[in-house]
Amino acid sequence: MPTAIFDNEERTYCADCYWKLEKEYKQKKTCDECASFSKDRCKKTNASLTPITIGYNIYYTQAENCNFFSTDQKAFLEEIKKLEAEHRYEEAAVQYEKLGMTEKAEKMRKKVDQKGSSQFDTNAKVKELAEKGQTLTYYCCHCGAPLKIGAKTQQIQRSCPRCKGDLEVINLGKLISQHLS
């Protein structure tokens, strides 16, 4: 029997009722269509969102009564740019797909693949550096500020604390590998 979860309570439905329920929720205005959507919490109101699970689909239907609901494409693009800046490429890809921008979504997915393989490598190298009790000083490619990674600082910096320049262009994994060799 098909099930749905409302307010953390699982309910079982006959096939006809389940189909009607799913059809009803597919027609509702949902929070994930809004530019302020974030799982579990609205970015605009900071209100927690309660999911309704019908089969494999999750609906956040608080948008039905929300005064701040917006599908403004500019707002969506601003949110996507924030996701990109935070290196949350998969989430950005999903948002681009919602806007029908499949080429942009594919570019984000390529970044996910690149980030995944190189990030894993880099994290392992930083851990190895820390285990050896070493600290590596490298420099910002934008302003020349000294940056450290290793025994005391294992957090990989995404932007320079001085000039706020993007440090993604530095292949930290390769730099550490050269240092350890």
**pLDDT tens string 23-51:** 888 888 888 777 777 777 787 788 888 88
Residues 66 and 129 in one domain: no
- CA dist 132 and 149 (Å) reads 12
- Asked if the structure places residue 78 within a domain, the reply is no
Residue 12 lies in a domain: yes
Mean pLDDT of the chain: 80
| Residue 159 DSSP code | B
Domain boundary among 70, 87, 105: 70
Total tally of structural domains belonging to the chain: 2
The pTM score is 0.39
- Whether residue 176 is contained in a domain is answered as yes
Q: How many CB atoms lie within 10 A of CB 86?
A: 11
Q: Is 133 left (phi over 0), alpha (psi -120 to 50) or beta?
A: left
What is the rounded average pLDDT of the residues 162-179? Answer: 77
pLDDT number for residue 120: 47
149 in a structural domain: yes
Q: What is the domain range of residue 139?
A: 121-180
Q: Are 53 and 2 in contact (CB under 8 A)?
A: no
CB 149 within 8 A of CB 175: no
Q: What does the pLDDT look like over 48-81, one tens digit per residue?
A: 888 888 887 888 888 778 887 777 777 778 888 8
Please list, residue by residue across 48-78, b when 16 or more beta carbons sit within 10 angstroms of its beta carbon and e when fewer do: ebebbebeeeebbbbbeebeebeeeeeebbe
